[in-house]
């Protein structure tokens, strides 16, 4: 009985075997040899069959932090010397608070190799984050290298969209946009007619965090009506883009369903009875900066059904980072999902959530308590119903559905006048009695 899964067909695994052989014979893997030494693991010299692959030790962010950058730099010194413009240092955001921010040496071109990124010659880069904008700009410059192609990019911080910026965007006449969902949402809310600026855009590439179905439909409304296609990817700082949400997946499942990229090996480990497991990623190219069995901390389900686009595996991303979700007896209480529902109720000023497991007549059941700060007096029964009816605790079932089936306790609401000021914002907690 296995509780892990490799999201690859036998044929694809065969193809990946060659990559692993290349990795085994490469001298530029001192980072990994050090990691294996710490973990007391002996890497086979020539061949690594899939049964043995499961013995390769995992690595997580704190372990990468401990191993440090030196060995990475040593491994990649030769390719680095040949053209330093293909590399940059990127720090993780540290939002999960699991570790201090970690510095990664990254290959710029690999970072934006997601299928959607390849489209378009005049790319409008809408990012508030300078580092990401710089990365995409360098990648565009690299693309022109040694070719007669003429790729251009324009970087704009969408927050604070002034008249001069609008003029620049108009003149540039982008054929593609890369951005975060939040940037597009902001732009549209501030400038309802901004879509006229994007008349020639044929392709929009959205990446970054969870995108809600509402955000996507808003973006589509504003951009797709100009015949633009939208691609969404699933990416992490540590392993770059991992998968892409094709148009068929989007139609069938909405957002947050992805096909893993061909040259990534995606595994799910510690899968529970509900099919939820942790996403583990292996990426062997370039070998000098490879990632082996990296534990992302993200929670997902896998599905092996051939999609209309031809891909065989789909990954359903259910939650990210340890602070952002709580698993409780087959349900997943996700902060982003609570926030999605709370946002539809403007009377709620602030909230905290507590998840408990309580004994009911038959069995142990999950219970969610929401502590709310309200703008004015509200009928709590109405409020509770509204939240229960739309808060999803499994991919398809709301809190109300689960209560009806006696699989979850009814929602509890508590009121506070004001939350005490705190430097550590932990909106969602698991209470263990």
Q: Could you list the residues that contact Zn ion (CB under 5 A)?
A: 246, 248, 307, 309, 311
* Closest separation in Å from C-beta 250 to Zn ion: 9
Do the bridges between strand 203-206 and strand 176-179 make them parallel or antiparallel, or are there none, so unpaired?
Answer: parallel
Phi, psi angles (nearest 5°) of residue 342: -60, -35
> Residue 244 or residue 265: which is nearer to Zn ion going by CB?
244
| Residue 11 Cβ vs Zn ion, minimum distance, rounded to whole Å | 17
d(CA 385, CA 429): 22
CA angle 182-283-236, nearest 5°?
Answer: 20
Smallest distance from the beta carbon of 103 to Zn ion, in angstroms? 35
Indicate the helix (H) or strand (E) that contains 317.
Answer: strand 313-319
Angle at 331 between CA 215 and CA 373, to 5 degrees: 60
- Smallest distance from the beta carbon of 311 to Zn ion, in angstroms? 5
Neighbours of 244 (CB within 10 A): 23
- Whether residue 20 contacts residue 13, with contact meaning beta carbons closer than 8 Å, is answered with no
What count of residues does the chain have?
A: 433
Beta bridge partners of 350: 373
CB of 260 to Zn ion, least distance (A): 11
CB-wise, 214 or 307, nearer to Zn ion? 307
CA angle 402, 405, 408 (to 5 degrees): 45
Closest CB to Zn ion among residues 260, 297: 260
The torsion angles phi and psi of 296, rounded to 5 degrees, stand at -80, -20
CA Rg, the chain, in Å? 23
Q: How far is the CB of 315 from Zn ion (least distance, A)?
A: 11
**CA angle, 270 as apex, 266 and 271 as ends, to 5°?**
80
Phi and psi torsions of 212, nearest 5°: -85, 160
Reference 315, options 274, 247, 266, 273; nearest CA is 266
Distance of closest approach, residue 308 Cβ to Zn ion, in angstroms: 6
Backbone φ and ψ for 365, nearest 5 degrees, come out as -125, 150
**Minimum separation from the CB atom of position 318 to Zn ion (A):** 19
Which one, 170 or 306, has the nearer CB to Zn ion? 306
CB of 230 to Zn ion, least distance (A): 14
Give the span between the Cα atoms of 299 and 379, in whole angstroms: 35
C-beta of 306 vs 385, nearer to Zn ion: 306
């Amino acid at each position: 009985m296995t509780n892990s899964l490799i999201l690859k067909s036998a044929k694809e695994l065969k193809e990946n075997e060659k990559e692993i052989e290349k990795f085994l014979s490469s001298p530029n893997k001192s980072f990994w040899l050090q990691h294996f030494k710490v973990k007391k693991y002996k890497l086979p010299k020539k061949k690594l069959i899939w049964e043995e692959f499961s013995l390769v030790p995992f690595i997580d962010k704190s372990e990468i932090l401990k191993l440090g950058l030196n060995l990475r730099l040593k491994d990649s010194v030769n390719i680095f010397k040949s053209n330093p413009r293909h590399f940059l240092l990127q720090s993780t955001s540290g939002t999960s608070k699991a570790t201090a921010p970690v510095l990664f040496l990254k290959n710029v071109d690999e970072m934006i190799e997601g299928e959607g990124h390849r489209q378009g010659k005049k790319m409008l880069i809408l990012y508030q984050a300078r580092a990401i904008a710089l990365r995409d700009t360098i990648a565009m410059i690299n693309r022109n290298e040694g070719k007669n192609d003429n790729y251009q990019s324009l970087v704009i911080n969408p927050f604070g969209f002034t008249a001069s910026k609008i003029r620049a965007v108009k003149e540039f006449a982008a054929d593609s946009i890369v951005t975060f969902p939040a940037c597009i949402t902001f732009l549209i809310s501030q400038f309802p007619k901004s879509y006229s600026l994007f008349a020639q855009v044929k392709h929009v590439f959205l990446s970054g965090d969870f995108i809600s179905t509402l955000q996507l439909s808003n973006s589509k409304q504003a951009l797709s009506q100009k015949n633009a296609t939208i691609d969404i990817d699933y990416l992490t700082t540590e392993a770059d883009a991992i998968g892409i949400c094709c148009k068929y997946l989007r139609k069938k499942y909405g957002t947050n369903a992805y096909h893993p990229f061909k040259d990534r090996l995606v595994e799910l480990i510690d899968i529970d009875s509900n099919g939820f497991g942790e996403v583990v990623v292996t990426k062997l190219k370039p070998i000098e900066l490879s990632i082996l069995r990296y534990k992302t901390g993200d929670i997902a389900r896998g599905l092996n059904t051939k999609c209309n686009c031809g891909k065989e595996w789909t990954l359903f991303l259910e939650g990210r980072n340890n602070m952002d979700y709580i698993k409780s007896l087959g349900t997943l209480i996700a902060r982003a999902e609570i926030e999605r529902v709370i946002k539809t109720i403007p009377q709620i000023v602030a909230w905290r959530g507590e998840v408990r497991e309580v004994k009911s007549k038959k069995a142990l059941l999950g219970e969610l308590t929401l502590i709310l700060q309200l703008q004015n007096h509200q009928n709590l029964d109405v409020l509770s119903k509204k939240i229960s009816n739309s808060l999803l605790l499994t991919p398809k079932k709301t809190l109300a559905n689960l209560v009806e089936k006696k699989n979850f306790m009814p929602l509890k609401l508590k009121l506070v006048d004001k939350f005490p000021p705190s430097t550590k914002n932990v909106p969602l907690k698991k209470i263990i009695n």
